[in-house]
Structure 1
Amino acid sequence: MSPAILLSFLLGYFVILIIIAFATSKESSDNSTFFIANRNSKWYLVAFGMIGTALSGVTFISVPGEVGAPSGNQFQYFQFVLGNAVGFLIIATLLLPLYYRMKLTSIYSYIEQRLGFYSYKTAASIFLISRTIGSAFRLYLVVIVLQRFIFDSYGVPFWATVLISLALIWSYTFKGGLKTIIITDTLQTFFLVLSVFLTLYFICDSLNLDIPAAFETVKNSGYAKVFFYENFLGNGFHFSKQFIGGVFVTIAMTGLDQDLMQKNLSMGTIKEAQKNMFTFTGIFVVLNIFFLSVGALLYVYAAKNGIAIPLDHATGSPRTDFLFPEIALNHLAVIPAIVFMLGLTAATFATTDSALTALTTSFCVDFLNLDKGDQTNSKKSVNKRHLVHVCFSLLMFLVILIFNAFNDESVVKGIFKVASYTYGPLLGLYSFGLFVRNRGLHDKLVPFICILSPALCYLLNLYSSELLGGYTFSVELILVNGFITFVGLLLISKKTDQQTRF
């Protein structure tokens, strides 16, 4: 498909988003609007919009690509998704009531009130680092597709493509913040969901399959195995590892993450926030089934038409992340190509715009205290927020360039590997705060515990086969990380008569 057509489509898409941004922030663009949308968001808009934020371009490209990976992944990712669903339910019933009861703007304010100043700053710092890395990984995925299929044709260097993408995102988020994001994410999720179903239709049409035949084709494709129970010690795909990892990765990366929780906190009541989470969970599970089915059909289509997995320009090795864009943009008709680009753009930018807003909110609230005092919405504080927003955009730009220089594996693996190390200490901190009573914490030592825990996890993961009788970790490593942090916090605490209730 012509790069000029794709570029024109991309620019038109962002023009729509920018128009929406100015329309939603016309009446007010103060900090209260940016941080929590004045706490009057509609739960059904947030529930639908969160789908785009949670799925991202990783789900759109990497998950289908991983179905036919040489390691034999098939539908094993759905084991992880089932764990995700349980994690979402725990968030709705345990964490959301706590956040609403305390009327939080930043969820890390809970740590300040429960554990102390240094614990609070540590938790907020973990989020800033984790979300910056995770969002950069996600944006990187769409940028390499844009680079390969659009900007290479114009001789635009990779760094410029990254900068252009971030500048476009900044242009429609800097003013209205969360109030704008809730509307734009709803629109982008609509495009994402539409593109999934249209992509399935176009692939099935190319393979001359109706719906029952498509179902049978996926079932008999050799890619549809969901549950893996073989070799518990050495198999990272084992059901228990994927399911347990899915539960705790979700609790950490959603429930203890300012990004997705910020949307939940923008609603008027806890009942609305819980309705949002329950609805979101159901849609999330169903959509992942369709993404995996797309993956199976892509590999069936590739085998039928002699299409090999594309090679990475940097490493020269096969890159499953590129199979979906390769087929959609080079082997199907113009309309399927546009549909694919629509879904990819919507998925990835819905994640990145939300992350930039959450990063800005956390830094402004947790480190600059812009939610306190009479000057919260003053011109000076709004200008500070704008500067922070720009700085995080530039930081993400640098992280993407670093990742591009060293990455040689599927992005979906990279994100959850990093999450196991960076989000683990948050699990330990919140577990200690929620479940340990009558113990006073040596607050100044908490940052050292939260650095030591990921370091020990890294070493344990590196030598697990030798130390644990052949056992290899997968995403469940995040639970071990949280447990080590929890034990470390117990060791630096002592009994006290003080009663703490939250």
Structure 2
Amino acid sequence: MQPVDLAVIAAYLAGSAWLGLKLSGRQRDTTDYFIGSRRLPWWAVCLSVVATETSALTVISVPGVAYLGDITFLQVAVGYLVGRVVVAFVLLPRYYRGEMTTAYTYLGRRFGRGMQGTASVAFLFTRLLADGVRLFAAAIPMRIVLGHYGVDASYFAIIALLACVTVLYTLIGGIRAVVWVDVAQMGLYVVGGVVALAVITGGLDVNFLAVAADAGKTRFLDLASNPVSAPYATVTAVLGGALLSTASHGADQIIVQRLLACRTVRDAQKAVIGSGVVVFFQFALFLTVGLALFSYFDGASVDQLGLAGSDEVFPTFIVEGMPAGLSGLLLAGIMASAMSTLSSSLSALSSSTMADLYQRFSRRELTDAQGLRLGRLFTLGWGLVFIGAAALFTGTDNPVVELGLSVASLTYGGLLGSFLLGLWVRRARQTDALVAFCAAVAAMAWLFLFERDLVGFTWYTAIGVSVVLGLGSLLSLRHRAPAAGTGSRADGDGTGGSREGALEGGEERP
């Protein structure tokens, strides 16, 4: 590592803040601040979606997956594409029909305030933990770099620096700044991956793909493994990936917020389906990097390399094998993937807090200026919470890390199941949905904490959806079926009728 690498990293941080402020434009109200007044081009939203779901964990870990195993992980990306098609044609039309600003507004209109608030709180909590882990992952290689210069920086200090820069442009520029900086950040880490692959292959005197094939690492389909316990068995990976993608892109505000910023529902559909195609090739790129690293390190095991795990293989090459300047570029790319996720989280958390909790329960009428000011305060508040949460991550052996990596999948099934319950079970009411959702989250938490080896993690979303639909449907049998053409009606406590429930019931008319 050379001083020029630190200069590249510093230039990236300054450039990100400047670009976000330059392209954000003037924010006039919460609609402009949270969904860009629905005027963002679909291709920019598409790339922003990819950047949002690509964390430092992806850039660091995916090469390690191929290094130790094979490329069957790519099957999950096939499932991702299937799931996004479902989101495009089943959920997005309903979001646009109701002029919604968050994914959970649908649950509020279908069931009542309690279900909307519960879903929003689940999103806020799980997103905070999951993205705290992603920021921590980005800090790992940065701490290694600074250590080469004798700087013993804490993980907390590094995360706080990344968070402060991200909060700056997100606070002022809103979703428009987030999307355009996401586009630039995605370009940076993809270019970094391509450059790394070129440098690795340029120093090899063998065909790395042939070496990988001889070692059985180019296997794409896994038709032999147990589909229950093996997460990358073909059926498990494709079906699990499809359900996970349907939940993450149709019931998670961090992605839905971007899709609602498109001009039309057709543009949103192109953005979400296009993102699935881009993600497939992105995974393919970083898996190929892992195959090339296998030849670069002569197939040495992680222990032989003196590393703690496969996640350190790619960062080790970046620090020790990349030419001066390019190491800084790769590290900036890892930071970019983390910052794009954080900026998206900040915007999504503040919009959900504003629309699903504050406005829903206070029922206070705000002027445009008051709403914009409050939205920015929520963004700043969540930024401070993220920095405070960084104190939880003090080392790679912290048990909170492992919990944070899986916490999103524990609630995705419950969230998606609640949406499907509202769409498919006409007699279901708020109490039914709440009990079923809580049961699904509790079941998944028990499975993760005590029976983690029983099923592959790719089944988590499917299990959560099944619990909500099964239990919710049984509980709904207590109620009389709604009259034809009236749909399901639910008020705040799930026991009677409401104007919102009646309106939503009209939308659900067959």
The reply to whether residue 189 of structure 1 matches residue 172 of structure 2 is no
1:407–1:364 CA distance, 2 compared to 1 (3 A)? farther
Worse-superposed segment, 333-342 or 357-366: 333-342
Displacement after TM superposition at 1:247 (Å): 0.9
Amino acid at match of 1:227: L
Distance 2:302 2:26 in 1: 52
Once the two structures are superposed, residues 22-76 of structure 1 have per-residue CA deviations (whole angstroms, 9 ceiling, x without a partner) of: 223343364222201111001111112322222221211111112234xxx3212
Alignment match, 2:101: 105
Structure 1 residue 300 corresponds to structure 2 residue 299: no
Closer, same or farther: CA 135–242 of 1 in aligned 2, 3 Å: same
Q: Is the 8 A contact 2:56 2:134 kept in 1?
A: yes
Residue 450 (str. 1) matches residue 437 (str. 2): yes
Which residue among 396, 420, 425 is the counterpart of 1:436? Answer: 425
Q: 1:444 to 1:82 in 2, by over 3 A?
A: same
Q: CA deviation at 1:456?
A: 2.2
C-alpha displacement of 1:275: 1.6
1:220 aligns with 2:219: no
Q: How many residues align?
A: 482
Question: What's the CA shift for 1:340?
Answer: 1.4
In 2, the alpha carbon distance for the partners of 1:306 and 1:485 equals: 43
Give the whole-Å Cα distance in 1 for the aligned partners of 2:356 and 2:139.
31
Paired AA for residue 324 in structure 1:
F
Counterpart pick for 1:81 among 73, 77, 81:
77
2:159 aligns to what?
A: 162
Q: 1:122 to 1:306 in 2, by over 3 A?
A: closer
Task: Report the Cα offset of residue 169 of structure 1.
Answer: 1.0
Q: Residues 263-302 of structure 1 correspond to what in structure 2 (within 5 A)?
A: 263-302=258-297
Q: Which residue of 2 aligns with 1:486?
A: 469
Alpha-carbon distance change, 221 to 294 in structure 1, aligned in 2, over 3 angstroms: farther
In the alignment, structure 1 segments of 5+ residues that lack a partner are 312-316
Which amino acid is the alignment partner of residue 480 of structure 2? K
Which residue in 2 is equivalent to 1:240? 235
Contact 2:350 2:379 in 1 (8 A): yes
In 2: Cα distance, 1:319 partner to 1:286 partner: 25
The verdict on how the C-alpha distance between 1:125 and 1:6 changes in structure 2, with shifts beyond 3 A counting, is: same
For 1:116-135, list aligned pairs within 5 A.
116-135=112-131
TM-score, scaled relative to structure 1: 0.88
Deviation at 1:269, TM superposition (A): 0.8
Q: Secondary structure at the match of 1:472?
A: coil
> % of aligned pairs identical?
23
Q: TM-score, normalised by structure 2?
A: 0.87
Give 1:255's aligned residue: 250
Residue 5 in structure 1 maps to residue 4 in structure 2: yes
- Closer, same or farther: CA 410–193 of 1 in aligned 2, 3 Å: farther
Aligned to 1:386, which of 376, 399, 406?
376
Q: CA deviation at 1:381?
A: 3.0
Alpha-carbon spacing, 1:289–1:414, altered in 2? closer, same or farther (3 Å): farther
> Which consecutive unaligned segments of at least 5 residues does structure 2 have?
488-504
**For residues 27 and 408 of structure 1, do their structure 2 counterparts lie closer, same or farther at Cα, with a shift above 3 Å needed?**
closer
Q: CA deviation at 1:114?
A: 0.7
**Equivalent residue number for residue 196 of structure 2:** 199
